[in-house]
Amino acid sequence: MSTLAIKNATVVTATDTFKADLLIEGEKIQSIAECGDLKADKTIDADGCYVFPGGIDAHTHLDLPFMGTFSSDDFETGTLAALHGGTTSIIDFAFQTQGKSLQEGLRAWHEKARGRAAADYAFHMVVTDFNPGSREEIRGLVEKEGVTSFKTFMAYKGALMIDDRQMIGLMNEVKKWGGLVTVHAENGDLADSLIQANRQAGNTAPRFHALSRPEIVEAEATGRAIDIAYSGGHPLYVVHMTCEGALNRVRDALRRNQKVLVETCVQYLLLDDSVYDRPDFEGAKWVMSPPIRKKKDQEALWNGIDQGLVHVVATDHCPFCLSQKEAGRNDFSKIPNGAPGIENRMELMYSEGVVKGRISLNRFVELNCTAPAKIFGLSPDKGTIAVGSDADLVIFDPRVEHTLSAKTHHMRCDYSSYEGWKVQGRVRTVLLRGTVAIDQGRALVGKGFGRYLPRKPFSGAETI
Ligand SMILES: [Zn+2]
């Protein structure tokens, strides 16, 4: 097996920062040694750079059929963009179609990804129709397919939403086999009634999307999901939390010693709702659910990270081109929900988080790499730098400043959520399972290099 050495690295894990030489043999990290005269077939000098574990984006939607169209990145373009940004594994969502089986949904997503993905990938299973048939399928998904997390939508009525009774049934079944239930927490009925009221009043602009999904829509559903999980003694993972009100429901749950895991996304940490006031339908770029919140919510989320209430930072990458967003030019409720971000997460979190002193280097690694790996059963192969782990590594140059733009990004989307943002630090080289996947902005792997990652069950004892 050929060997590769990364020399003079400043290795960063969720707990430690230290200088070392790394020896990679095949796909794995073979040894971590003091800097010295390590010999290998090939050598990369990482002097002056950090070496992080490959990022894990626990929330992406590639090739997703949604609101009459498809998200504009497929598994090839989306995972290549992820690699460019230092994300080596993603967990995407396989959707059940209401009236059909979970297995059919999972098969459809395997077909989308197989032979196309350039980065490694896994699937959460979205349960949109929990019935005696789907109940029967849960065990097989956990034990045979390596799908150990299940997502429910409390919003998108008539399409994805399930009612509380179904959610209770799902939590009970999933618990039996060691899976984890995750929830999109927005009160679908409340959002729907506000959407209809705005449409009837002739309010058509993108900002009415945000005004139809105010903080209470999310806070109420978050609290309800948490209470339902509590009543059954279940752990719960809340996806894309955006606001102070929802975070306070988590605080309440912790006071009664409940386990609630929280994910937020980069956009909710960095953007505020003034994006919806931009002229000429530009606000449509940030139409997503939940919507971008207020400045006070950004602060609440950063504080939540600081206090250990928020465990994971993901992207909810679900891009649509401007021509697709046009579907809602005269009606905000028809704007496809979602935005690009898969490529920008690591660099933005470093620049806005670490450089600005909001999080430490180690916390940066924990939020973006280690915590998602541990929570979702990918550890210790993924999410850390350790002997025997996959050699998924990001050589990151903190000295380089650059500007984010749709002109230079690799996502198949004709706008950037962060157009013109100056970012300190840049992904220089990315390794996926010991192979150099990206070097200085050039992709050296392509379509089909990514591998499906069956995941381990949720232990319940995994503390982050
Ligand atoms: Zn999502």
CA distances for 396 relative to 20, 24, 46, 100, angstroms = 15, 18, 9, 45
121 C-alpha to ligand 1 centroid (Å): 16
348 CB-contact burial (10 Å; exposed 0-12 / middle 13-18 / buried 19+): buried
User: Which two three-digit tokens encode residue 453?
Assistant: 């990652």
* pLDDT score recorded for residue 462: 63
Dist. CA 329–CA 379, nearest whole Å: 44
* pLDDT score recorded for residue 157: 84
93 C-alpha to ligand 1 centroid (Å): 8
149 C-alpha to ligand 1 centroid (Å): 14
User: Which two three-digit tokens encode residue 434?
Assistant: 């010991």
Instruction: Answer whether residue 461 shows pLDDT above 70.
Output: no
CA 103 distance to own-chain centroid: 23
User: Which two three-digit tokens encode residue 317?
Assistant: 């990458």
11 C-alpha to ligand 1 centroid (Å): 32
273 C-alpha to ligand 1 centroid (Å): 19
Instruction: Answer whether residue 1 shows pLDDT above 90.
Output: no
User: Which two three-digit tokens encode residue 58?
Assistant: 């626990």
What is 169-190 written as a DSSP string? HHHHHHHHHT-EEEEE---HHH
Instruction: Answer whether residue 322 shows pLDDT above 80.
Output: yes
What is 323-390 written as a DSSP string? HHHGGGTT-GGGSPP-B--TTTHHHHIIIIIITTTSS-HHHHHIIIIIHHHHHTT-TTTSSS--TTSB
Beta bridge partners of 51: 11, 395
CA 114 distance to own-chain centroid: 20
* pLDDT score recorded for residue 460: 72
Dist. CA 6–CA 31, nearest whole Å: 11
Instruction: Answer whether residue 410 shows pLDDT above 70.
Output: yes
Give residue 114's pLDDT band: very low, low, confident or very high (50, 70, 90): very high
Phi, psi of 292 (to 5 degrees): -65, 135
461 CB-contact burial (10 Å; exposed 0-12 / middle 13-18 / buried 19+): exposed
160 C-alpha to ligand 1 centroid (Å): 12
For residue 19, the tally of other CB atoms under 10 A from its CB is 12
What H or E segment, with its residue span, contains residue 216? helix 215-232
Dist. CA 342–CA 314, nearest whole Å: 8
Phi, psi of 401 (to 5 degrees): -105, 140
pLDDT digits (tens, 9 = 90+) for 52-90: 999 999 999 999 999 999 999 999 999 999 999 999 999
Instruction: Tell me if residue 223 falls in helix, strand or coil.
Output: helix
62 C-alpha to ligand 1 centroid (Å): 10
Dist. CA 70–CA 196, nearest whole Å: 25
8 C-alpha to ligand 1 centroid (Å): 39
Dist. CA 236–CA 150, nearest whole Å: 10
290 C-alpha to ligand 1 centroid (Å): 9
Instruction: Answer whether residue 463 shows pLDDT above 60.
Output: no
Which residues 6+ apart lie within 8 Å of 19 measured at CB? 8, 9, 10, 11, 35
* pLDDT score recorded for residue 118: 98
For residue 360, the tally of other CB atoms under 10 A from its CB is 14
125 C-alpha to ligand 1 centroid (Å): 12
Instruction: Answer whether residue 301 shows pLDDT above 80.
Output: yes
Dist. CA 79–CA 113, nearest whole Å: 10
90 C-alpha to ligand 1 centroid (Å): 13
61 C-alpha to ligand 1 centroid (Å): 6
Dist. CA 13–CA 380, nearest whole Å: 12
For residue 16, the tally of other CB atoms under 10 A from its CB is 11
Dist. CA 447–CA 444, nearest whole Å: 10
Mean pLDDT of 310-335: 98
What H or E segment, with its residue span, contains residue 450? none
60 C-alpha to ligand 1 centroid (Å): 6
What is 404-421 written as a DSSP string? --TTT--SS-SS-TTTT-
Average pLDDT, the chain: 97
Mean pLDDT of 435-459: 96
Mean pLDDT of 105-134: 97
Dist. CA 192–CA 112, nearest whole Å: 31
What's the full length of the chain, in residues?
464
205 C-alpha to ligand 1 centroid (Å): 23
CA distances for 105 relative to 59, 61, 117, 133, 134, angstroms = 17, 14, 18, 14, 11
Percent of the chain residues topping a pLDDT of 90: 96
16 C-alpha to ligand 1 centroid (Å): 32
Buried b (16+ CB within 10 A) or exposed e, 158-189: eebbbeeebbbbbbebbbeebbbbbbbbbbbe
64 C-alpha to ligand 1 centroid (Å): 10
5 C-alpha to ligand 1 centroid (Å): 38
Give residue 37's pLDDT band: very low, low, confident or very high (50, 70, 90): confident
pLDDT digits (tens, 9 = 90+) for 236-277: 999 999 999 999 999 999 999 999 999 999 999 999 999 999
Dist. CA 257–CA 259, nearest whole Å: 7
For residue 436, the tally of other CB atoms under 10 A from its CB is 18
What H or E segment, with its residue span, contains residue 127? none
pTM: 0.97
401 C-alpha to ligand 1 centroid (Å): 30
* pLDDT score recorded for residue 161: 92
237 C-alpha to ligand 1 centroid (Å): 13
For residue 422, the tally of other CB atoms under 10 A from its CB is 10
